[in-house]
Amino acid sequence: MADNNMTKGYDKPNLPYSLEAEQAVLGAIISNGKVIYKVAEILTKSEHFYVKIHRDVFDAMIDLYCSGKSIDFVTLLEQLKKNKVFDESKGKAYLKDLAENCPNISNAAEYAKIIREKYELRTFINALQKAICEAADGTTNLTDIINEVDRKIYDIMRDTTNALEPFSKGMLRVFDRLDINVRNSDKSIPTGFKGLDKIITGLNRSDLILLAARPGMGKTSFALNIAKHIAKDRKKTVAFFSLEMSTDQIVTRLLSSEAMVERTKMLTGDISDEEWFRIVKAGDALAKCDLYLDSTPYLTVGEMKSKLYRFKNIDFVVVDYLQLMSSRRKNSNYVREVSEIIKSLKELAKELNVPVLCVSQISRSPEERDDHRPIISDFSNMYPALQDVDTVLLLYREGYYANPSDTQIDDKSCECIIAKNSHGKTDSVMLEWQSEFMRFKSWNHLCE
């Protein structure tokens, strides 16, 4: 095969590559310019070649290809001169050797696949070597290192070339997708609270919904109620990221809500045979749901994305809660960090085309007012970040602030305030808070 010292420095590579395959592909194209049509479907950039001179030659070939010019020995040599990357005296002989020593022009596509595979192996090795260096110097968080490697692997797996294909094959794929769309024709996903759905038109795909309140209002329970309804009653796939509670705590709450057995009884084990039967029945129903729980603390949006990419389909994502999330931006102030997280969550919703509901705390401002009802400005210095949020829901229970001795206060009523609504008006709906079961119901049960 050709060498002429043009590939000096690559005879003992540190990374995998095939000198023979690279030379064979280029030689085949020089011998028959039309081979570029097959090769360009597989090798979409010159970086797929390991040897620098081969990258330069392939770049020149692509320049000719894109300009509609034929590729042969003469046109290629002229293009290389124009690109000013070739030594004419040595390069002329090298191009001639490439053409004369090509094993089999008809196998050019197979040679190209070998080059592509070696490139992907090098990319993988480089990612691992970078991870090893970062792990060794101890300056990068281990979770960030792992997720960066995971992202790189995903990119390699996704980085495939779409060749021309028969219409019939594409048609079958489109019909499959149409069938799914017909069966899931509703663009939005109902929350399970019809009064709320009428105002916000359900949970719309690619929307970011912020569910906020002061501590103790039932934010997590409300988010779990919605997640359970979507997974169990709507038969959709839900991912619930709990950054505060363990998976066992989340499961206990879901079982209590579904079985209508007091959570305190489940924690103490003081349950009757009939209650135990309801718990088992509830567990059997929930186990059949596509509901996935993750209790990893201080997650970043990037880490969530890496986990969600492993699923073929996700319909709804819940994050509980915003203030416990981490940002990749180091040493940033609180406002910038929260803005970055919210912006990233919105991008996640758009990329996955699913509604993302994020639970959030609000400032202490409601406690400093006579009317403790929350308002959107209670997000304080988070307020500018709300431009990336489509819907803001605020929970308020008057009974939470009541004097325990005041028997006139209804501690079961809860107001869900729609403080921002990109799909319609702002309003509020009443809910019933069943504290013993950690669940909400529509105030008018006939609306369920």
Answer whether residue 295 shows pLDDT above 70: yes
For 448, the token pair is: 């369920």
Q: Mark out the alpha helices in 309-379 (DSSP H runs).
A: 334-352
Answer whether residue 54 shows pLDDT above 90: yes
* Active-site pick, 110, 244, 275, 415: 244
Beta partners for residue 389, in sequence order: none
β-strands 208-213, 356-361 pairing: parallel
Beta partners for residue 32, in sequence order: none
Answer whether residue 234 shows pLDDT above 50: yes
**Sign of the dihedral through C-alpha 364, 370, 376, 377:** negative
186-447: CATH number: 3.40.50.300
Of 59-63, 113-117, 442-446, the poorest mean pLDDT is in: 442-446
SS3 labels along 145-191: HHHHHHHHHHHHHHCCCCCCCCHHHHHHHHHHHHHHHHHCCCCEECC
**Average pLDDT for residues 152-171, to the nearest whole number?**
62
Answer whether residue 170 shows pLDDT above 70: no
Answer whether residue 245 shows pLDDT above 70: yes
For residue 155, CA distances in Å to 51, 120, 171, 408 come to 23, 10, 27, 61
Residue 20: what pLDDT? 94
1-164: what CATH class?
mainly alpha
**Average pLDDT for residues 307-319, to the nearest whole number?**
85
Half-sphere exposure for 100 (CA within 13 Å, toward CB) = 9
Tell me how far apart the alpha carbons of residues 344 and 353 are, in angstroms, rounded to a whole number. Answer: 14
Q: Can the peptide bond before residue 321 be classed as cis, meaning omega within 30 degrees of 0?
A: yes
Residue 164: what pLDDT? 54
Q: Annotated catalytic, 340?
A: no
pTM summary value: 0.62
Tell me how far apart the alpha carbons of residues 272 and 334 are, in angstroms, rounded to a whole number. Answer: 49
**Average pLDDT for residues 46-68, to the nearest whole number?**
88
Judge residue 276's burial from the number of C-beta atoms within 10 Å of its C-beta, 0-12 exposed, 13-18 middle, 19 or more buried: middle
Higher pLDDT, 202 or 321: 202
Residue 183: what pLDDT? 58
Higher pLDDT, 161 or 180: 180
375-415 pLDDT per residue, tens: 888 886 676 778 889 999 999 988 887 776 666 666 788 99
Residues 6+ apart with CB under 8 A from 76: 30, 57, 60, 61, 64, 95
Residue 185: what pLDDT? 52
Question: Do 374 and 394 touch, CB atoms closer than 8 A?
Answer: yes
**Average pLDDT for residues 355-370, to the nearest whole number?**
88
Residue 408: what pLDDT? 64
**Average pLDDT for residues 190-204, to the nearest whole number?**
93
Q: Model confidence at 285, in pLDDT bands (50, 70, 90)?
A: very high
- Grouping H, G, I as helix, E, B as strand and the rest as coil, residue 259 is helix
Higher pLDDT, 194 or 339: 194
Question: Do 212 and 360 touch, CB atoms closer than 8 A?
Answer: yes
Query: Across all residues in the chain, what is the average pLDDT?
Result: 84
**Average pLDDT for residues 110-132, to the nearest whole number?**
91
Higher pLDDT, 164 or 128: 128
Answer whether residue 228 shows pLDDT above 90: yes
Which amino acid appears at position 426 of this protein?
A: T
Which amino acid appears at position 270 of this protein?
A: D
Residue 65: what pLDDT? 83
Answer whether residue 2 shows pLDDT above 60: no
Q: Model confidence at 31, in pLDDT bands (50, 70, 90)?
A: very high
Tell me how far apart the alpha carbons of residues 446 and 448 are, in angstroms, rounded to a whole number. Answer: 6
Tell me how far apart the alpha carbons of residues 130 and 50 are, in angstroms, rounded to a whole number. Answer: 19
Q: Which phi and psi angles does 173 have, rounded to 5°?
A: -65, -40
Answer whether residue 331 shows pLDDT above 90: no
Q: How many helices (H) and strands (E) does the chain have?
A: 15, 11
Q: Model confidence at 11, in pLDDT bands (50, 70, 90)?
A: very low
Higher pLDDT, 240 or 375: 240
**Average pLDDT for residues 49-53, to the nearest whole number?**
93
Domain chopping of the chain, boundaries: 1-164, 186-447
135-159 pLDDT per residue, tens: 888 877 787 788 778 777 766 765 5
Answer whether residue 225 shows pLDDT above 50: yes
The top-scoring range by mean pLDDT among 137-151, 167-181, 275-289 is 275-289
Residue 144: what pLDDT? 76
